[in-house]
Structure 1
Amino acid sequence: MFVNELIQKIVLIQVKVFWPTGPDVNAKGLSRRRMLQGAEDSLRRLKTDYIDFYFVHDFDERTPIEETLRALDDLQRQGKILYPAVSNWAAWQIAKALGISAKEQLARFELIQPMYNLVKRQAEAEILPLAASEQMGVISYSPLGAELLTGKYGVNKRPDQGRLVEEARYTDRYGDEMNFTVADRFSAYSTEQGIDPSTLAVAWVMSNPAVTAPIIGARNAEQLESSLAAADVNMTPEWRDEISSLSVTPAPATDRGETLLSKWT
């Protein structure tokens, strides 16, 4: 009994809805029917009374945002979810949803899950500033860039196995040669600092003030330990800037090149 109570205190249940779960045309997207059925199916499979964060996993161009938000609001009112959350939406889409929620007095998105690492920094342009402005939580994914920033990859270093060579989506996502140049720079820098690249990569993501926590994954205890060690890294703003200079800083959201991205930090 004590163990079950303890688990309930430290585990947050997150569920995503969008991608097809069957051949039925209604088994995908963010329609009201799909949202409600997806929540009920997850509650049944997980044998729980509620979901902490119910993520819309992608943007559904065929369903009005109002319909999706109304379904999320109903689920929250029924006590089946605590908070709506969003992943893989553009900043303007999230901002539009927040405006609708405020106008219609609906439950709003409270948590964002963007991709964010040293070679994928687009979230810095608008998503992270939006989250900071609206006091939304951010749990970013892929802090190691699908192992690109672990020291295993470089311009002339390509393992025979690994997600970057075995899975097409990661090959497409990180295949640009500039990413491998950054990986080389970062690996050399980590060696100079005497810190495992995985540890430093996660610490860099954590040091962004808009990020609540990075999502880490591991295939074994060694990989997990190197990521968890990031919690002990004292990343100063100056150190963060030094590491950031190893990759390309994304252009500002406006057309004024002199705009400083650091204004929102």
Structure 2
Amino acid sequence: MEYRQLGRSGLRVSTLTLGTMTFGGEGRFAKLGNTDVEGARRQIDMCLDAGVNLIDTANMYSAGLSEQIVGQAVAGKRDDVLISTKVRMVMGDGPNDAGLSRHHIIAQAEASLRRLDTDHIDLYHVHEWDGQTPLEETLEALDTLVRSGKVRYLGVSNYAGWQLVKALSTADRLGYQRFVANQIYYSLESRDAEYELIPASLDQGLGVLVWSPLAGGLLSGKYRRGQQATSGRHLEDWNEPPVRDAEKLYDTIEAVVDVATARGVSPAQIALAYLLRKPGVTSLVIGARKDEQLADNLGAAEIELTDEEFERLEKVSAPWMIYPHWHQALSASERFGAPDRALHG
């Protein structure tokens, strides 16, 4: 297992992270999995044996049950793992049970600490943008948690580029703790993050954690053009991620399957190995309903694509060159820096 620096922080994390959205199975999360404490212990042990040192959860996964299961499953092993969790989503029926107000952040951090049965959160993400709470209030609350020792590092997830840079500049202006991680959706199915989020993360020194690197299973090889998959979440009422161009997706899947077949490995391992070679990517958040799926995903850490394999996947999945990027490619490419090349190559 390789370990990469998390942005400009001194923290090193494994290139694969265990995701726990399948833990619990309460409410709508039942469609993803219902791993119990025993199953969680087994999967965490598998990950520790493979060298994984980061577990990612969220307060809203199964209404807190995922955090509770993680806390029980790491009992006696807490010093061996880093734990990431999140705050922002709706956690109740009250008017203050969502968002990034000081009230909600502090209350939810305390609740997460209780459920996780720990005295600190290693990496605390704001889970989504809150356009109604002043950034100064959000960042001050997060800064307070770090200075109190209850949180060690801060992360952001699902922000637009302008929202991310505004938050970072506000933290810098006020002397508050900065985000060191940006958790985003990024996969061969959709490389939208290359327009702004990857370049901004490179420019501003944030590590990138990737959620759903297999596009909700779309890149696992079970979904093929002209064939009906017999299992998988996309047979059910779940639309993350939304598929905008099915033909391009199937072209991409065919390329992934071809590379995997030639290598004698699974399509999932190829799709994951591709992302681990992309600029700015620190770690991929992987999760699975079944232990066999998790074991297969963990194998991606051992795969290094050839230049030819990588370029084939680059070409078939290339994002549309939207404005102003097509104009910059025509008029400014002679002075591109590393963040620009994350999109333009």
1:196 pairs, out of 266, 283, 290, with 266
Task: Quote the residue 2:254 is aligned against.
Answer: 184
Matched, 1:45 2:122: no
2:193 pairs, out of 123, 126, 129, with 123
> 2:190 touches 2:319 (CA, 8 Å); kept in 1?
no
Q: Which 5+ residue runs of structure 2 have no aligned equivalent?
A: 1-73
1:128 is paired with a residue of what secondary structure? helix
* CA distance in 2 between partners of 1:11 and 1:103 (Å): 33
1:112 is paired with a residue of what secondary structure? strand
Q: Which 5+ residue runs of structure 1 have no aligned equivalent?
A: none
Greater strand share, 1 or 2?
A: 2
User: Which segment drifts farther, 25-34 or 152-161?
Assistant: 152-161
1:168 is paired with a residue of what secondary structure? coil
2:239 pairs, out of 169, 173, 196, with 169
Matched, 1:256 2:328: yes
Task: Quote the residue 1:142 is aligned against.
Answer: 212
Task: Quote the residue 1:93 is aligned against.
Answer: 163
The one-letter code sitting in structure 1 at the alignment partner of 2:341 is K
Task: Quote the residue 2:293 is aligned against.
Answer: 223
1:86 is paired with a residue of what secondary structure? strand
2:175 pairs, out of 105, 128, 149, with 105
The one-letter code sitting in structure 2 at the alignment partner of 1:256 is Q
* CA distance in 1 between partners of 2:235 and 2:244 (Å): 9
* CA distance in 1 between partners of 2:151 and 2:243 (Å): 34
> 2:124 touches 2:154 (CA, 8 Å); kept in 1?
yes
* CA apart distance, 1:217: 1.1
Residues 40-79 of structure 1: pairs in structure 2 closer than 5 A? 40-79=110-149
* CA apart distance, 1:262: 6.3
> 2:155 touches 2:182 (CA, 8 Å); kept in 1?
yes
User: Which segment drifts farther, 249-258 or 106-115?
Assistant: 249-258
In structure 2, the CA distance between the partners of 1:238 and 1:187, relative to structure 1 (3 Å rule), is: closer
Identity %: 36
The one-letter code sitting in structure 2 at the alignment partner of 1:49 is D
* CA distance in 2 between partners of 1:72 and 1:189 (Å): 44
* CA distance in 2 between partners of 1:78 and 1:229 (Å): 38
The one-letter code sitting in structure 1 at the alignment partner of 2:106 is L
What is the CA deviation profile of residues 124-145 of structure 1, one whole-angstrom value per residue up to 9, with x for unaligned ones? 1221122122221111011111
In structure 2, the CA distance between the partners of 1:234 and 1:189, relative to structure 1 (3 Å rule), is: closer
The alignment's TM-score, normalised by the length of structure 2, stands at: 0.70
* CA distance in 2 between partners of 1:176 and 1:239 (Å): 23
Matched, 1:155 2:225: yes
* CA apart distance, 1:193: 3.8
RMSD of Structure 2 on Structure 1 (CA): 2.2
* CA distance in 1 between partners of 2:318 and 2:147 (Å): 44
Count of equivalent residues: 261
The one-letter code sitting in structure 2 at the alignment partner of 1:155 is R
User: Which segment drifts farther, 88-97 or 4-13?
Assistant: 4-13
* CA distance in 1 between partners of 2:76 and 2:118 (Å): 15
> 2:256 touches 2:270 (CA, 8 Å); kept in 1?
no
Task: Quote the residue 2:48 is aligned against.
Answer: none
Matched, 1:232 2:299: no
What is the CA deviation profile of residues 70-125 of structure 1, one whole-angstrom value per residue up to 9, with x for unaligned ones? 11011111111111111100111111111111111001111110101101111112
> 1:121 touches 1:250 (CA, 8 Å); kept in 2?
no
* CA apart distance, 1:5: 9.4
> 1:154 touches 1:181 (CA, 8 Å); kept in 2?
no
